[in-house]
Amino acid sequence: MQTLTPAETAARRRRVRNTALRLAAFAVVVYVAFIVAFINQHQ
């Protein structure tokens, strides 16, 4: 029987949030950078 301590739960929650935010930021950066790259190439 394994149960996480409250501290462990909080740490895991932090990790989850950080990973998720980083991945989401990555997606947004790809999207924006992609369009910007084509605007530049275009001029």
Query: In the bound complex, what is the minimum distance in angstroms from residue 7's beta carbon to other proteins?
Result: 15
The least CB distance from residue 26 to other proteins, in Å, is 7
Return the SS3 of 3: coil
7 or 24, CB closer to other proteins? 24
What does the alpha-carbon distance between residue 21 and residue 32 come to, in Å, rounded to a whole number? 16
The reply to whether 25 sits near other proteins by the rule CB under 8 A is no
Maximum Cα interatomic distance, the chain, rounded to a whole number of Å: 63
Give residues 1-20 in contact with other proteins (rule: CB under 8 A). 1-4, 12, 15-16, 19-20
